[in-house]
Structure 1
Amino acid sequence: MIVGYGQNGCSEEAVRAFSEMQRDGVDPDDFTLGSVISSCANLASLEEGAQFHCLALVSGLMPYITVSNALVTLYGKCGSIEDAHRLFDEMSFHDQVSWTALVSGYAQFGKAKETIDLFEKMLSKGVKPDGVTFIGVLSACSRAGFVEKGRSYFYSMQKDHGIVPIDDHYTCMIDLYSTSGRLKEAEEFIKQMPMRPDAIGWGTLLSACRLRGDMEIGKWAAENLLEIDPQNPASYVLLCSIHAAKGQWNEVAHLRRGMRDRQVKKEPGCSWIKYKNKVHIFSADDQSHPFSKGIYEKLEWLNSKMVEEGYKPDVSSVLHDVADADKVHMLSHHSEKLAIAFGLMFVPQEMPIRIVKNLRVCVDCHNATKFISKITGRDILVRGAVRFHKFSNGLCSCGDFW
Structure 2
Amino acid sequence: MYSKCGSLSRALEVFYSIKLEDRTLVSYNATIQALSMHGHGADALRLFDEMPTWIEPDEVTYIAVLCGCNHAGLVDDGRRVFNAMRVPPNVKHYGTIVDLLGRAGRLAEACDTVMSMPFPADIVLWQTLLGAAKMHGDVELAELAATKLAELGSNVDGDYVLLSNVYASKSRWADVDQVRDTMRSNDVRKVPGFSYTEIDGIMHKFINGDKEHPRWQEIYRALDDIRSRISELGYVPETDNVLHDIGEEEKQYALCYHSEKLAIAFGLIATPPGETLRVIKNLRICGDCHVVAKLISKAYGRVIIIRDRARFHQFEDGQCSCRDYW
Which category describes the TM-score, using the shorter chain as reference length?
over 0.9
Report the equivalent of 2:203. Answer: 279
SS in 2 for 1:354: strand
Structure 1 pair 377–229 and aligned structure 2 pair: CA distance change class (3 A): farther
Partner of 1:309: 233
For the residue of structure 1 that corresponds to 2:61, the secondary structure is: helix
Quote how far apart the aligned CAs of 1:301 are.
Answer: 1.0
Query: Could you tell me which amino acid in structure 2 is paired with residue 97 of structure 1?
Result: V
Aligned pair 1:107/2:31, yes or no? no
Answer whether contact 1:170 1:197 (CA < 8 A) is retained.
Answer: no
Q: CA deviation at 1:164?
A: 1.9
Counterpart among 354, 374, 381 of residue 305 in structure 2: 381
CA pair 377-350 structure 1, distance change in 2 beyond 3 A: closer
CA distance in 2 between counterparts of 1:200 and 1:364 reads 27
- Using the alignment, how far apart are the partners of 1:304 and 1:226 within structure 2? 46
Deviations along 1:267-322, whole A, 9 cap, x unmatched? 11110001111110000000000110000000011112222211111122223211
SS at match of 1:165: coil
Do residues 191 (structure 1) and 115 (structure 2) align?
A: yes
Whichever residue aligns with residue 132 of structure 1, its letter is V
Which residue identity does 2:149 align to in structure 1?
A: L
8 A contact 1:219–1:239 mirrored in 2: yes
Per the alignment, residue 121 of structure 1 pairs with: 50
Say which is worse superposed, 284-293 or 240-249, in terms of deviation. Answer: 240-249
CA distance in 2: counterparts of 1:229 and 1:364, whole angstroms = 33
| Structure 1 residues 149-298: aligned runs within 5 Å | 149-157=77-85, 161=86, 163-298=87-222
Aligned-CA RMSD value: 1.2
Equivalent residue, structure 2, for 1:82:
9
Give the residue type in structure 1 aligned to 2:12.
H
CA distance in 1, matches of 2:192, 2:277: 23
Aligned-partner residue type, residue 355 of structure 1:
V
SS in 2 for 1:237: helix
How far apart are the structure 2 equivalents of 1:391 and 1:229? 39
Q: Quote how far apart the aligned CAs of 1:125 are.
A: 4.5
Distance 1:226 1:106 in 2: 35
> Which residue of the partner structure matches residue 277 of structure 2?
353
Contact 1:370-1:394 at 8 Å conserved across structures? yes
2:290 to 354, 366, 369: 366
Q: What is the letter of the counterpart of residue 148 of structure 1?
A: D
Aligned equivalent of 1:39? none
TM-score normalised to the size of structure 1? 0.78
Partner residue, 1:54: none
- Structure 1: distance between partners of 2:18 and 2:273: 32
Distance 2:121 2:216 in 1: 43
SS in 2 for 1:286: coil
Give the C-alpha shift of residue 79 in structure 1.
1.8
The yes-or-no answer on 1:142 pairing with 2:70 is yes
Q: Which amino acid aligns with 2:227?
A: N
SS in 2 for 1:369: helix
2:24 aligns to what?
Answer: 95
The offset of 1:252, in angstroms, is 0.7
Equivalent-residue separation in structure 2 for 1:338 and 1:221 (angstroms): 34
Which is further off, 314-323 or 257-266? 314-323
In structure 1, the gaps of 5 or more residues are: 1-73
2:305·2:312 contact (CA, 8 Å) conserved in 1? yes
TM-score (norm. length: structure 2): 0.96
SS of structure 1 residue aligned to 2:178: helix
State the distance in 2 between where 1:204 and 1:373 align. Answer: 31
Q: Which has the higher helix share?
A: 1
SS at match of 1:382: strand
Measure the CA separation in 2 of the matches of 1:323 and 1:338: 23
Determine what percentage of the aligned residue pairs are the same residue.
40
